[in-house]
Structure 1
Amino acid sequence: MKTYFISALVCLMSVMSWGQVEEGYEDTLKKMFEVSGTEAAYQSTIKQMVGMYKSQKSDVPADAWDSLEKEFLAMSLNDLTKMLVPVYSKHLTKNDLEELIAFYQTEVGTKFANSTPAIMQESMQVGQQWGMELGKRFNEKMSEQGY
């Protein structure tokens, strides 16, 4: 009975601690998003969404759009950060995030953060070309083998 009780207690403690995140993790993640350029990318996405809606609803006054954009920029980024905490905390500790922040605050880290959007855009184009070429070669090999 005593062994059963101890086993149950250990299991309960494991379940209770599972899913808990280090204190300050969310704020640290938010700071990492800020210095890495991730926050700016999210803001750009929100602004693009507002622009898309703006083009669909031309009867809405400009000040209403400005107000909505400000509200969603503030609210959505906080919501997204909260939603991403479980994802990031599964893979990175608070200390890992702090080290990333330190990196992004260096000269090379800042350069990397500022260059990342252009690198990603250019990489996507290269990746598409690579994928098309790979598909072409794959089909050629399949044909050579009679398939």
Structure 2
Amino acid sequence: MKKIVLSLILALITALSFSQESSTYKSSLKKMIQVSGSELAYSGIVNQMISMFKQQQSNVPVEFWDEFAAEMNKDAVGQLVDMLTPIYQKHLTEADLQSVISFYETPAGRKFAEKTPLITQESMLAGQEWGKQIGERVMEKLRAKGYINK
């Protein structure tokens, strides 16, 4: 009987410490998302999705969409953090997150967070051009080798 009680107590202590550990990890992840500028990006995505639905459902009053947007933006990032926590935990320790947070709290980190959306947008355009050039080279090579007609 004592062994069962001791086992239950040990299991409870382990569960509580894991829960607390998970809670601090989740807080660190949320802070990293905030300081990295990702929170603004995620909010932008939510608002873009709502705008798309709004266009598709033009018969729905604007008040509905305003209410829905407020509701979604209230805790959308918190819900996303809940979903992302186990993924990040597989790959990064809480100490890793703290290091990333420390970087984003430096002037260079703040500038990087601020400029990332612009860098991403411009990089996507460059990537499209790069892909187009590769495609053209493939076609030239295929034609040169006689695999396709000129």
Place the TM-score, normalised by the shorter chain, in its bin. 0.7 to 0.9
Where 1:146 maps in the other structure, the secondary structure is: coil
Q: Which amino acid aligns with 1:122?
A: E
1:48 aligned partner? 48
If the length of structure 2 is used for normalisation, what is the TM-score?
0.78
2:131 aligned partner? 131
1:117 aligned partner? 117
Query: What is the CA-CA distance between 1:86 and the residue it aligns to?
Result: 1.8
Q: 1:34-57 CA deviation, whole Å, 9 max, x = no partner?
A: 010111000000001111112222
Q: What is the 5 A alignment of 1:87-106?
A: 87-106=87-106
Number of equivalences: 130
Gaps of 5+ in 2: 1-17
Gaps of 5+ in 1: 1-19
Give the RMSD, CA atoms, in angstroms.
2.1
Query: What is the CA-CA distance between 1:105 and the residue it aligns to?
Result: 1.0
Where 2:86 maps in the other structure, the secondary structure is: helix
Instruction: Determine the C-alpha separation between the residues in 2 that align with 1:146 and 1:60.
Output: 58
Where 1:65 maps in the other structure, the secondary structure is: helix
Where 2:146 maps in the other structure, the secondary structure is: coil
Q: 1:9-31 CA deviation, whole Å, 9 max, x = no partner?
A: xxxxxxxxxxx784311111111
Query: What is the CA-CA distance between 1:117 and the residue it aligns to?
Result: 0.4
If the length of structure 1 is used for normalisation, what is the TM-score?
0.80
